[in-house]
Chain A
């Protein structure tokens, strides 16, 4: 494949240029100009279409990079950390399936048996070194590694419903809740204006406030919030929301010597140094009419649920290269048997998590706030 391997028998016949073939007409100035116009037009459509698709010609479109920008605008940019749920702790354990989940889902993870799990406990918000507070949203990301190579990833929080029904609502709420430098709290007027426009958020926040707040990570229930379709081996499909519910709540948190800046994480580390922590994986099955496209709306308490098995967290690790720090808990990495519903949030979460993951991957990394060795020393 050298440039010269094209034949060159006809190199020296410039007169041919003028011998236009029949049907295309002679080569005139007019035809050349028309031709050039056509080429320029096609090139403009080509480049313009590409730029439009990429969002560069649509400054008002809400794209994943702009969503990630908003987190940086509100919380500042913190190299190497997640744009949201920046403060965290890596965890490992396993999921022992009872086999009960197999009735509604053909995914291998629901067959009786045990699969390894990688997890991450986190606090909501983009500040990697924020002080732990009881009412800050707590997160648990899980990656179930099935023996057939399939993965199930989920990122859950300790709220029974989500605060927003659409990505646009979340995007607007982020800005409205940006702390004002003077008070450290959101601008009340901006927040009120946002809530006026978003009654679904008002209703969701009421439900969240009514649900009891647990003392720490170990006794928190974490909710998947979004509905997904579960399909069993017979091909029957049902809508499902899942949650992980702590077992043995009493005395779950070993009280630490102090209520330090990282007390929620410190308590978790000390507890896990003594014994593993267990959660039951509960699959709640929706019925016709239950909203699958709105994570702000709870399903009725009476819905049937399946105890799919026990998640056991055996150890936590300081975030570092190779552990949960480097996992994107993308809620749309799903095994065969689980598919996304019509909820608009998971696609947006998947897209924005991917952008956040790429940004932090490309940035320099620095040590995480929560350090297991320091807590146990």
Chain B
């Protein structure tokens, strides 16, 4: 996005358009995936159906995560709002890196885990992915454990991220969420107020 830095003086400081689109495309996928994952391991009747969705959705998330990483490395971020303290900014940055890491690693672990257990990695009908780990039950055990731990970590990080943004938006009312908005928002923003002042 050329001209993004110029925009910040006339419009709210926002993430680049591709970043915002990727964010809101991935958010429902990741939330659905977490819910599907946690539901299927607790369900006798829906396990196969949910697993059949979980596999291709995981691969889709992996593809999006790679695209998003490239996008992240090629776009500059908007400045943090003044309502975020130095410590909060550090936490926000590191939790962002953690989310990127989990979104990339978690699908790969799921894929490798199925490979280690000799399961065919079926996506849709006859469409399959090749195995990416040796057939080894001990490797499966480690990967399966990691898949659970990282799922809880991903859920916790997502929840913290969502609550932090909502806290800023609903309590501090600094319109933090507008930075990631793909919907039209009022031109007024703290930055613009500051620019006017």
Contact = CB atoms under 8 A, between A and B. Distances in A.
A358 interface: yes
Contact of A22 (B44, B117, B140, B188): B188
Interface in A325-343: 325-328, 330, 332-333, 336, 340
Contact of A347 (B48, B83, B174): B48
B22 interface: no
Contacts, number: 190
B64 interface: no
User: Range of interface residues on chain A?
Assistant: 35 or more
A358 B144 contact: yes
Contact of B47 (A22, A49, A64): A64
B93 interface: yes
Interface in B11-41: 13, 34-35, 38-41
Contact of B175 (A9, A21, A351, A357): A21
Contacts of B120: 149-151, 333
A193 B125 CA distance: 45
A17 interface: yes
B137 A42 contact: no
Contact of B126 (A5, A39, A148, A344): A148
A14 B82 contact: yes
B172 A27 contact: yes
B130 to A, nearest CB: 8
Interface stretch (A55-63, A134-142, A277-285, A366-374): A55-63
Contacts of B49: 347
B72 A1 contact: yes
Shortest Cβ-Cβ A-B pairs, 9 listed: A7-B79, A55-B42, A351-B47, A35-B171, A35-B170, A3-B93, A361-B141, A348-B44, A336-B126
Interface of B: 13, 34-35, 38-49, 72-73, 76-83, 89-90, 93-94, 97, 117-120, 125-126, 128, 130, 135-138, 140-141, 144-145, 155, 159, 162-163, 166-167, 170-175, 186, 188-191, 193-194
Given A7-B79, A21-B193, A65-B41, 18 more contacts: A10-B82, A10-B191, A16-B190, A17-B172, A35-B172, A42-B166, A46-B159, A53-B42, A54-B39, A54-B41, A63-B43, A148-B126, A322-B136, A326-B136, A340-B48, A348-B47, A351-B43, A351-B48
